[in-house]
Amino acid sequence: MISLLSWLGAFCLMVAPFAIDTTAGKLLAITGLAFLTLQSIQTKCYNLTLLNITGILGYVYSIYF
């Protein structure tokens, strides 16, 4: 299941830059990072987990402020 979500996350992150100036693009980036965070936790790549969480927080901040 995590493998499938990781591929879906990668796809979201490939599409997101083309719409990053919209809320939908930012939500795609958040979704992609969230799905890839599951994989980074599973593989114990905690540096990537921290990077993904920071990215998610940055996109949430850009949506609301």
pLDDT of residue 2: 93
| Model confidence pLDDT, tens digit, residues 13-33 | 999 999 999 999 999 999 999
Whole-number average pLDDT of the chain: 97
- Cα Rg of the chain, angstroms: 11
Q: Note the pLDDT of residue 15.
A: 98
Three-state DSSP string of 1-65: CHHHHHHHHHHHHHHHHHHCCCHHHHHHHHHHHHHHHHHHHHCCCHHHHHHHHHHHHHHHHHHHC
Percentage of the chain exceeding pLDDT 90: 98
Mean pLDDT confidence for 29-54: 98
pLDDT level of residue 51 (50, 70, 90 thresholds): very high
- Angle at the Cα of 40 from the Cα atoms of 3 and 16, rounded to 5 degrees: 75
Using an 8 Å Cβ cutoff, are 33 and 56 in contact? Answer: yes
